[in-house]
Chain A
Amino acid sequence: MSQTVFEPWNDPTAKPLIQFKNVTKRFGDFTAIDNQTFDIYEKEFFALLGPSGCGKTTMMRMLAGFEAPTEGMILLAGQDIAPIPPNKRAVNMMFQSYALFPHLSVWENIAFGLKRDNKSKDEIAARVAEMLKLTRLEKFAKRKPHQISGGQRQRVALARSLAKAPKLLLLDEPLGALDAKLRQDTQFELMDIQETTGTTFVIVTHDQEEAMTVASRVAVMDDGRIVQADTPARIYEMPNSVYVADFIGEVTIIRGTARRGDGAYEITFAEGQPTLFAESDTEFDNGQECHLAIRPEKVSITAQKPDDRRNALEGKILDIAYLGNLSTYHVELSSGQIVKAQTANTTRLSRRSFTWEDRVWLSWTDTAGILLKG
């Protein structure tokens, strides 16, 4: 099997399926979406991620046709979708509450959209059977929505929204109502189904782990703007702002001033603390304020000062968060700054090397941290 990388957003000849062009949406005085321009490509699994009230749901409702942009244009396959009502769009949506029709059976729920297209009885039956098989619901076809479990309802909602083979499927917090274990299984199921059907998925979620797991690209939103849209790996390793770094995963942010050194920036951040070094593609002026973001798993924790690393800080263990596979140490420097360090628990608990109040050394390489402007 050839491993071609799926990265249409890096291919200038690729034609996007959806284009947002300077889209703004206001509700009265409130600006929900602020002048956004971005593309989503065919077969992508695109995640809109952000805290509640950041505008991600508005974005989705504009795609579905329940809201119209105040300014700007949304194109679907090159066509302006503003004049097309929701019932005529080749877009289907899976609702957060699932919105299953309680008076119809599972079979009738899935057939609902197909019947509106005046398809023949045989065609409808065949398509519904296919959807039931895809979502493993064959046994429940005759049940009513309140006669099945939450996870099954979620699959009915998915089957119903996929039945019409939309160009674009919108998923509004699709796994929000499921418990943690079921959610994980369902995430992989969603990815499988997305791959099997080749449909473009746009998912709205506030759960960063979910977005990272399922999506080909994640758009981190804040206050009506997409702050960064990139692959999960790049979002995690190369956040473009303190907001993104802080929103995704755990991170320590050290605020200081940057000075150009040889190959790396020198960062001074507190009285009596050693200078830190970090390489960066972003340009900083001498004396400019900067934020150094370091992921805890990139920080080593040792009893002695390491001689092979320039970035080394001494501190006292304040807290240990034991997560089973990992332990996160919260280490307080003499300046009061807290730095997180994470180690994999490859040995048994009884042989753990550090405990509360221990004085330890934290160290990392010049490339481990990301230097950010704000």
Chain B
Amino acid sequence: MRRLTWFNVTSLSLGFAFLYLPMLILITYSFNSSKLVTVWAGFSTKWYGELLQNEAFLDAAWVTVQVAVVSSSIATVLGTMAALVLVRAGRFPGRTLFSGMVYAPLVMPEVITGLSLLLLFIGIGLDRGIFTIILAHTTFSMCFVSVVVSSRLVTFDDSLEEAALDLGCSSFQAFRLVTLPIIAPAVISGWLLAFTLSLDDLVIASFTAGPSSTTLPIKIWSAVRLGVSPEINALSTIMIAIVAVGVITASLITKRASLRQQADERAAVHA
């Protein structure tokens, strides 16, 4: 074991400070009883109570969840299909164009994506609302799903699918019964990624949202412009908690699965 030198201690504290200090301050002040954000006046949970009374925030949260669930699900289906085509189909006319288009949103500035989608929706006369946000989020998050799934497919042993065909499956059955269950972890993490991206997207949602469909990030952003309120701090703390629980659970599950796999493989060697 290496000892903790002063250099290591410094880099560690600097790292933690940059990463967590802002969040720590935010969480602390969400329990502040004063309405003034920068003045500490004692511990209180009243802002959490008020948050639950705030219809506007609750509506925005509901819209956000709907958008995130629907768009990430559609993006997962489309992204997985795109990954399958790009990894499996070999060369076909227009392949370069297709892969370029799939991955374009990865590098495109969000403002541009948002603007071009806005122009499209206006052009085809689509009223902006929850539906257009879903479409927009599907567009930009499917490329992330496609990246995650195709990196798994590259290491997928094609003979598994051939074996399924050989044993009497149609191509679709082979995909459903063999390929999909095996790549499921990648598909699920693709979905989670798309879900998170949709949850915290502000730029694209601002371009494509209508008056009746405000998402939580838009709501927070506009509220903050009028001054940071302790309510916002409370809301953000809840979001941090949800994300933290999600991340910790996911990593625990993966860790346990890999430990069990290792144990099984050891057992098999000695069997």
Contacts and interface: CB of A to CB of B under 8 A. Distances in A.
Interface stretch (A86-94, A236-244, A266-274): A86-94
Interface string A112-123: 110011000000
B179 to A, nearest CB: 10
B239 to A, nearest CB: 35
Interface string A100-127: 0111000000001100110000000000
A164 B167 contact: yes
Interface string B203-220: 000000000000000000
A70 interface: no
Contact of B159 (A99, A102, A147, A161): A99
B166 A146 contact: no
B162 A144 contact: no
Contact of B168 (A101, A103, A116): A116
B267 A92 contact: no
A146 B264 contact: yes
Nearest to A64: B166
A56 interface: no
B159 A95 contact: yes
Nearest to B184: A103
A92 B162 CA distance: 11
Contact of B160 (A91, A101, A144, A147): A101
Given A103-B182, A146-B261, A147-B268, A86 B159 contact: no
A86 B182 contact: no
B166 A87 contact: yes
A97 interface: yes
The prevalent SS among residues of B at the interface is helix
Contacts of A97: 157, 159
B97 interface: no
Interface residues of A, number: 30
Contacts of A112: 164, 167, 177
Contacts of B268: 146-149
Best-surrounded residue of B166, B264, B267, B268 (most CB of chain A within 10 A): B166
B178 interface: yes
Contacts of A144: 264
Interface in B176-192: 177-178, 181-182
Contacts of B45: none
A160 interface: yes
Contacts, number: 74
Given A86-B162, A99-B157, A92 B261 contact: no
B10 interface: no
A43 to B, nearest CB: 21
B200 interface: no
Interface in B218-268: 261, 264-265, 267-268
A147 B263 CA distance: 9
A66 interface: yes
A86 B261 contact: no
B271 A149 contact: yes
Interface string B95-116: 0000000000000000000000
Contacts of A85: 165
B173 interface: yes
Contacts of B265: 146-147
B182 A117 contact: no
B182 A95 contact: no
B151 interface: no
A87 B181 contact: no
B269 interface: yes
A86 B168 CA distance: 7
B185 to A, nearest CB: 11
B163 A99 contact: yes
Contact of B167 (A102, A146, A160): A160
A87 B168 contact: yes
B169 interface: yes
Interface in B129-173: 157, 159-160, 162-170, 173
Given A101-B182, A161-B166, 19 more contacts: A66-B165, A87-B170, A95-B159, A95-B163, A97-B157, A97-B159, A99-B157, A101-B163, A101-B164, A101-B178, A112-B164, A112-B167, A116-B173, A144-B264, A146-B265, A147-B264, A147-B268, A149-B268, A160-B167
Interface of A: 64-66, 85-88, 91-93, 95-97, 99, 101-103, 112-113, 116-117, 144, 146-149, 152, 160-161, 164
Interface of B: 157, 159-160, 162-170, 173, 177-178, 181-182, 261, 264-265, 267-269, 271
Sorted from nearest, which 6 A-B pairs have the closest CB atoms? A113-B167, A116-B168, A99-B163, A99-B159, A103-B181, A95-B159
17 contacts: A64-B162, A64-B166, A66-B162, A86-B165, A86-B166, A87-B168, A88-B168, A92-B166, A93-B163, A97-B157, A99-B159, A99-B163, A103-B181, A112-B167, A112-B177, A116-B167, A116-B168
